[in-house]
Structure 1
Amino acid sequence: MTDDARTTDKPLIPAATILMLRDGPSGLEVFMVVRHHQIDFASGALVFPGGKLAIGDTAPEVRGLCDGANDLDDTLLALRVAAVREAFEESGVLLARDESGGLIDGERLSALEGDRPKLDKGELAIGDFLTREKLRIACDLLQPYSHWITPKMMPKRFDTHFYLAVAPADHVAMHDGSEGVDSVWINPSDALEEAKAGKRTIIFPTRMNLEMLAQSKTVADAMEAALTRPIVTVEPQVEDRDGEMMLTIPAEAGYSLTAISMKDMN
Structure 2
Amino acid sequence: MRELPKELRLPSEMVPPSPPDPPVTPKDAATVMLVRDTEAGLEVFLQRRVTGMAFAGGMTVFPGGGVDRRDADTSVAWHGPTPAWWASRFSCDVGLARALVCAAVRETFEESGVLLAGPDETSVVADVRPYAEARAQLVNRELSLAGFLAEAGLVLRADLLRPWADWVTPEQEVRRFDAKFFLAQLPTGQRADGETTEAQDARWQRPSEALDDWKAGNSGLLPPTWTTLAELEECGTVAEAMARERVITKLMPRVTREDGVLRVVLPGDPRYDEAANHLDARGEDRLGR
TM-score greater than 0.5 by the shorter chain: yes
Looking at structure 2, the residues matched to 258 and 26 of structure 1 have their Cα atoms a distance apart, in angstroms, of 38
Secondary structure of 1:185 counterpart? strand
Shift in Å, 1:86: 0.5
For the 8 Å contact 1:151–1:235, the answer to whether it is kept is yes
The counterpart of 1:66, out of the listed 74, 78, 101, is 78
Q: Offset of 1:59 from its aligned partner?
A: 2.0
Give, in angstroms, the shift of residue 247 of structure 1: 2.6
* C-alpha separation in 2, matches of 1:110 and 1:236: 40
Match of 1:249 among 266, 269, 275: 266
Q: Residues 1-150 of structure 1: matches in 2 within 5 Å? A: 6-62=20-76, 65-68=77-80, 69=82, 71-72=84-85, 73-99=94-120, 101-106=122-127, 109-150=128-169
Tell me the distance in 1 between the aligned counterparts of 2:111 and 2:169: 22
Cα distance per residue 1:54-93 (max 9 Å; x no partner): 122012323xx11123534111111011011111011111
Q: Give aligned pairs, total.
A: 249
Query: Please, which runs of 5 or more residues in structure 2 have no aligned partner?
Result: 1-17, 86-93, 280-289
Confirm or deny: 8 A CA contact 1:7 1:152 kept in the other structure.
Answer: no
Shift of 1:244: 9.3
Task: Decide whether the 8 Å contact of 2:166 with 2:251 is kept in 1.
Answer: yes
Query: Matched residue of 2:107: which SS?
Result: helix
1:246/1:259 contact within 8 Å kept? no
Which of structures 1 and 2 has the larger relative contact order (alpha carbons within 8 angstroms, sep 6+)?
2
CA distance in 1, matches of 2:256, 2:230: 23
> Percent of counterpart pairs with the same letter?
35
C-alpha RMSD of matched pairs (Å): 2.7
Q: Please report the TM-score for the alignment, with normalisation by the length of structure 2.
A: 0.79
Q: Flag the structure with higher helix content.
A: 1
Whether contact under 8 Å (2:83, 2:95) holds in the other structure is no
- Runs of 4+ aligned structure 1 residues displaced above 4 Å come to 239-246, 257-262
Q: What's the offset of the Cα at 1:240?
A: 7.6
**Kept in 1: contact 2:84–2:97 (CA 8 A):** no
**What TM-score, normalized to structure 1?**
0.85
Q: 1:243 to 1:21 in 2, by over 3 A?
A: closer
Q: Could you tell me how far apart the structure 2 residues matched to 1:258 and 1:118 are?
A: 48
Given the superposition, is the C-alpha separation of residues 100 and 193 from structure 1 closer, same or farther in structure 2, using an over 3 Å criterion?
closer
Letter in 2 for 1:224: A
Shift of 1:201: 1.6
- C-alpha displacement at 1:112, in angstroms? 0.6
Q: For 1:160, what is the secondary structure of its paired residue?
A: strand
The Cα of 1:259 is off from its aligned counterpart by 6.5
